[in-house]
Structure 1
């Protein structure tokens, strides 16, 4: 089937990352995806191999006109309520060239809050404007069997089992020293960043912090006393990594600080202890979202306290950023237990294709 996925970039690592993974997995499953992006600059490093995915520059009227000359899609995926091209929505409603029942999917944001199960797969009829006469269907990713699940490639476990950590670190020219705890940092500007890095610097063992480019690197550089490392802390800035290599980074580290949506999911699949910097909202609605996720993950008290501090909802706990081996083992057990529950559920693409194949219109 032909799939058109619309992505309006707000946080280009998260929104675009999710949409690109979905498009790539569709292509690998034998479908024909077309990804409409209003700002695809990050794809140059995120997805250098386009893997059978057709791209449309949504900001270019000529590119949209050319795309509209092709057959209408069978499935329209509106990622995160971004409102697709009115011309395509109108044509999609008319349906010329569609060979299967048409489906308009509103792919929503990821959350562990209780309302997700209630709203998942609910219809939203379109009464007026482009697309009038069709029905949008809410499709919620999630962490429980009552949701749409999470994106996961069929060969992910096999690739992770075959991963050679030492070879990858060497290929990336990461100067890892035996005995160092490797920690990855991908974040916005967390309120507790200075306290956490100071905790690493004063820890009982050496830590090597691998910092991703962009806002995370800028936030660390804004701390002159810690930007290059101090005490037991070493800091290295990484280059932009394609999605497969970002997975490899997560697999290589004993602790991963992640942000947004896409990297959270990848850190869960990695199975190492993680700290999530949730996308901040002005009304602090993200704190309730974070609490729901911590409840689902059954986070130990020390990991919960660090999450709250990292997201501006509490004071940094003592030594939380340099946990003793026992605490880190508790964190790892919680993440791996959560991952096991997720692996027992169908992945998002499997559920989405099943839903579309059931004949929604």
Structure 2
């Protein structure tokens, strides 16, 4: 086994939104708290990081947060000693000065590209393979994933036990929601909505408003707010704003830290999420969900969507699987989803059970941090 306090460097460029920094921040903390590693997290955009960790001082080039050394990734790189394990998150390009520092070590470091999450079959075959080489330093592909033979998903120790305890405690949920200013009506279904802009939203809100069951829609601050405002007929939506239309109550929430967002997902009956970090957290919530996958050129994101759906719906009856496929594909294409939502609601108990079973199945795999450490142990 590698000695305790093995030094790790994780590099993160914030490309868009908060998925990249969300994943790397969770990973860095887990490597420190559960694996006893020494971690430097290099981030090029501390302002984006501040949304997830309000304690961050964006004026500092070096600081410690929750056991992690947070370093600002400067435009002009200064020479530093390379770590024992180097992770380039999501194919970011390391500074040339740092790459030279890796090559200058007496024993080259383990260099890994932590890739984007995908359920596509080819991921299993590529996971752990060598990639490019820089002088004496070999880089390896490391793929998170949903199937054996991949790197698994980020999951902190005891996460599902904490979630189950919370979901079985109505008073704990009430107090948490109250702390965010949320007071749902008795019998209302709770839905969280965190998504990119989507032209298909209006049809869903129309159906929710006309439903016989009241819905309390919780919308964390983000890019979908413009579409919600247009449906409500208002210019903009401020944090804390609440609007009621027929059976639908819409409430805007502030951007919350990651542990609070987890609890928000645990409280809700249904979660609409986006990107990668919130996508994984919604799966650990064990509740029916809807994923707004990040759009890529030439619609290659739809291949990723279909690959995940094939796994996620494999236990469902043909009718329920068809309903979920229709809902997810329409949502990611920006098409109206109102009718798809009504169809999915016909299979609600089955969808609830599927979400729980999927969560438990994924928990059988090693979590991502453990898999990374094991890969290092095997490598040395």
Q: What TM-score do you get using the length of structure 1 for normalisation?
A: 0.91
Is 1:213 matched with 2:234?
no
**Counterpart Cα distance in 1 of 2:31 and 2:161:** 19
Local SS of the residue matching 2:21:
helix
Residue in structure 2 matched with residue 239 of structure 1 by the alignment: 254
- 1:229-264 CA-to-partner distances (Å, cap 9, x unmatched) read 422111000001000000011001000000000001
**Counterpart Cα distance in 2 of 1:216 and 1:119:** 35
Pick closer, same or farther for the CA change 1:24–1:321 going to 2, 3 Å.
Answer: farther
Residue in structure 2 matched with residue 16 of structure 1 by the alignment: 21
Is 1:45 matched with 2:51?
yes
- 1:156-209 CA-to-partner distances (Å, cap 9, x unmatched) read 123213322111111111121211110000000123111111111111200010
- 1:293-325 CA-to-partner distances (Å, cap 9, x unmatched) read 00010162212111011011765351616954x
Pick closer, same or farther for the CA change 1:114–1:330 going to 2, 3 Å.
Answer: same
Q: Which moved more, 1:17-26 or 1:296-305?
A: 296-305
Aligned 8 A contact 2:199 2:336 in 1: no
- 1:30-89 CA-to-partner distances (Å, cap 9, x unmatched) read 11111111112132231246211111111353xx42xx44x4200110011111121111
Aligned 8 A contact 2:29 2:67 in 1: yes
Residue in structure 2 matched with residue 36 of structure 1 by the alignment: 42
Q: What TM-score do you get using the length of structure 2 for normalisation?
A: 0.86
1:335-346 to structure 2, matched below 5 A, reads 335-346=355-366
Q: Displacement, 1:141?
A: 0.3
Residue in structure 1 matched with residue 30 of structure 2 by the alignment: 25
Residue in structure 1 matched with residue 86 of structure 2 by the alignment: 76
Residue in structure 2 matched with residue 172 of structure 1 by the alignment: 180
Local SS of the residue matching 2:42:
strand
Pick closer, same or farther for the CA change 1:93–1:321 going to 2, 3 Å.
Answer: farther
Local SS of the residue matching 1:190:
coil
Aligned 8 A contact 2:201 2:336 in 1: no
**Counterpart Cα distance in 2 of 1:79 and 1:293:** 22
Q: Which moved more, 1:307-316 or 1:276-285?
A: 307-316
Is 1:112 matched with 2:132?
no
The Cα RMSD (Å) is 1.9
* Structure 2 gaps, min length 5: 1-5, 56-64, 167-171, 238-242
Local SS of the residue matching 1:235:
strand
